[in-house]
Amino acid sequence: MRHRIWVVGAAAVSLVTGLAVVASASASTGAPAARASASGFKTGLARGIPFCQELAKKTVFGSKKTVFGSSGAMMYCFGPQTGGTGPFNQPAISPALGGTPGNVDAASFREDHNPALAQFYGQSETSIAAAGRFVVEAWNDSTGFGSNCGARMNKAELTGVGFSANGGHSFTDLGGLFNPGCTKTRYEGDPSVVAYVHGGHTYFYVASLFERISGPGAGLSYIAFDACTVVGSSLRCGRPDIAASSKQCITFRFGSFCSFLDKDFLAIDPAHGRLYVDYSEFGFLGNGNPVEMSVCSLSNPARPTCERGTPLAFVKKKFGGKLFEGKPYFTVAQPDRLRGCENEGAYPAVNLKTGSVYVAYEFNWATNIFDPNCFGFQNKTRDVITRTPKSCLTLTAVSPCAHPASTNSVAVFSLDAAFIAGYNRFPASDFPRIAVSSKFGDVSMVWNDARHHPQGDILLQSFRLSSLKRVQAHPTTLDSPHGGGVTFLPALRVANANGRLDVTWFSRASAATAFTSVAAAIGVSPGATATPGNVYITNKLSNWLVANSDIVPNFGDYTDSVLSATGRWPFVGRTLYVAWSDARTGVPQPFEAHVSG
C-alpha cells in the first residue's frame, strides 16, 4: 500500500533524477501540497514555478506530462516528504561476505537533528573523491528539511559533506555544504565531488544544484560548487562559485519564473587545469530539454573562474510578461523539439592527453513510459555519447562550436518502469557512467539494462576516442550470473594507470530478496567481450524493505567510485574509493570503502 501511494504521488512528481526528497503527496490526487518547506522558505510549487507545476501534475501511464525531475528538483519544488519504506526496525543483517574491504559510515547520526532536536532519517545519492590520505564524500542530507539558515554546521543546506584525513578509515561529518548566503540561496543536493592536486596543495570541488529561494531573482536556478582546500588535516571551503545559471526567465509584476537546471556532474582535467560541469536545463517554452556544459579555469585553484554563457537579456513580451533569454556556454544535446522526449543523466569524462571532453547521457528517459509521443521505435531509449575537442572548449563566455564533433549511441532496454522492492522512487534510471582510457584509445560507457533478463545487468560498451566507432559488436555483460537478481546503478569515473576500468554497482542475489550488496568488476579491459570475475565491496547486506527514510530516493539514483587523484601523469593513484547509500543500520547512510591495487 505504501508503494501504491508513492507511485500515484511521488512517482507522479519525480523524474529528472538526483536527490529525491519530495513534497508531501496526496494519496487521493497524487499532487504534492503547495506549502512552505520545513526550513521556512517557500517551495518552488508554492511560488508558482512552472517547472514545479509540471512536476506536480498527476502522472499515470499514457499521461501528457511534459517534464520529469530529479530528486534535487523535487526537493526544490516540494520540500520534504515522508519517504520511508516501513517503520524503523533494525534490519536482519547477514554475516560478513568475507574477503571484502572495510566499510565506513561517512556521516554521523549525532548530526542528524535540527536545533529543535527533531531527528531526521536518511542520507543518499553519494559522490566521492580522494587525493593521498584525504577523502571527501558528499550526499543528499534530509536534516536540511527541518533547519533554518543559521543552524550550526550549515545544516539548512541539503548537501552534506564528510571528510577523512586518514585515507577513508574514518570520517568527520562536516554538516551541510558551506553557504554564507543561505537566507537567499540554498544547496539542493545532487552532489558531485572531484579532487585536484596542484602546487603542493590538495583541493576538492563539491558541486550541487543551487537555487535562489528569496529576494531579487528568486526562482533563478544554478549549478554551484564550493572550492575546498586541505589545510593541515582539515578542510576549508570557500563561498559558492556559480558554474551555470538559468538561460530562460519570464517576469511579471508579481515575480519571475525561470528554467530549472538539474542533474549536475563534474569532471576535472588536471593536465590542462580545467573543471567541467554538465547538466540538463528544463525551460517552459517548447518541447524537450537540452544537455549543457560549462568550463572553469583552475589557474587559481582556490577560486576557479567559470565560463557559463551570456547573461539574460530581454527578448520579447510573452504571456503578458517579459521574456529574457541567454546562451549557455556549450550545448551538448539539443532538445527533442519534435516529440519532447527527455534528455537526462549526463556524465562527463576527459581525455587528459588531448583535452577532449566526452559526455554520455540518456535519451528518452521516463518519457518512454509516460509520454505517448515517445513510445515509438523511432524514439527508442538510447545512451548517447558525444566528443567535443579542446579547440571548442575555449575560456570564453560561449564556446565557438555549436555542437559536439562526434556522436554515437547504444540502445537501452530500460528499467525505468520497474518497481524495485524497497526502493522508494519510481521510475528507476539507466543513466550511463563513463571513463576515458587513452592507453587503449577508448572511451567506455556502463549502464543497467534489461535485455538479458528483466531485473537488469550491468553492460559495457566502448568506443574509439576519435571516431566514436564501437569497439565491441555487442555490449559486454559485467555482472556474473546471479539467479535473476536485481543489478543496477553502476559507477565509473576514470581508468586506472594501466587503462583498465573498475566498475561498481548495487546487486541482489535473486529477485526474491531485498537484501542488497555493492559488487564490482576490477581491472576490466575497455575492449572486454567476456564477463569478468566479480568481487564484493560491501561486507554486510542491507535490507531495503525496513529502511526508515525521510528522503526519496532512499538509496539515491546514483552511486560513485573513483581512483585517488595525484599531481602528475597519469593523475590517478592505485586506490579505488567507492561511495554508496547503505541501510545496514536501518537508516540510509553514506558509506565508503576503498581497495588498493
> What CA–CA distance (Å, rounded) separates 25 from 2?
12
Dihedral in degrees, nearest 10, Cα atoms 347, 298, 563, 109 = -80
What residue type is assigned to position 263 of the chain?
A: K
Beta-carbon neighbour count of residue 6 at 10 Å? 26
Q: How far is CA 521 from CA 141, 223, 491, 506, in A?
A: 29, 32, 11, 12
Strands of 165-245 (E only): list them.
172-176, 185-187, 192-198, 201-212, 221-231, 234-245
User: In this predicted structure, which of 83-92, 123-132, 390-399, 413-422 has the lowest mean pLDDT?
Assistant: 83-92
Average pLDDT of span 322-336: 97
Highest mean predicted confidence (pLDDT) among 94-103, 106-115, 509-518, 573-582 = 573-582
C-alpha cell at 410: 547504444
- The DSSP line for 361-419 is EEESTTHHHH-GGG-SGGG--EEEEEEE-GGG--SSSS-S-SS-SEEEEEE----TT--
pLDDT for 8 equals 23
pLDDT > 80? residue 281 = yes
414 in Cβ contact with 365 (< 8 Å): yes
The string of pLDDT tens digits covering residues 156-198 is 999 999 999 999 999 999 999 999 999 999 999 999 999 999 9
Domains located in the chain, CATH noted: 2-596 (2.130.10.10)
- The DSSP line for 484-518 is B--EEEEE---B-TTS-EEEEEEE-SBTT--EEEE
pLDDT > 70? residue 2 = no
pLDDT > 80? residue 17 = no
73: pLDDT confidence band, cut at 50, 70 and 90? low
pLDDT for 326 equals 98
C-alpha cell at 552: 526519496
| Averaged confidence pLDDT in the chain | 87
pLDDT for 425 equals 86
- Who wins on pLDDT, 85 or 383? 383
pLDDT > 50? residue 10 = no
Which position has the grid cell 563561498? 239
- Who wins on pLDDT, 360 or 60? 360
- Who wins on pLDDT, 503 or 76? 503
User: In this predicted structure, which of 25-29, 113-117, 388-392 has the lowest mean pLDDT?
Assistant: 25-29
Q: How far is CA 141 from CA 20, 125, 353, in A?
A: 10, 9, 37
What residue type is assigned to position 458 of the chain?
A: I
> What CA–CA distance (Å, rounded) separates 121 from 135?
24
Average pLDDT of span 322-341: 96
H or E element, residue 4: helix 2-8
Strands of 271-312 (E only): list them.
274-282, 291-297, 305-307
H or E element, residue 3: helix 2-8
User: In this predicted structure, which of 20-24, 231-235, 329-333 has the lowest mean pLDDT?
Assistant: 20-24
Q: How far is CA 376 from CA 101, 426, 589, in A?
A: 45, 22, 40
The string of pLDDT tens digits covering residues 238-259 is 999 999 999 999 999 888 899 9
Buried b (16+ CB within 10 A) or exposed e, 510-532: eeebbbbbbbbbbbbbbebeebb
The string of pLDDT tens digits covering residues 397-415 is 999 999 999 999 999 999 9
Strands of 40-121 (E only): list them.
104-105
The string of pLDDT tens digits covering residues 455-508 is 999 999 999 999 999 999 999 999 998 778 999 999 999 999 999 999 999 999
- Who wins on pLDDT, 214 or 281? 281
pLDDT for 542 equals 95
> What CA–CA distance (Å, rounded) separates 74 from 292?
20
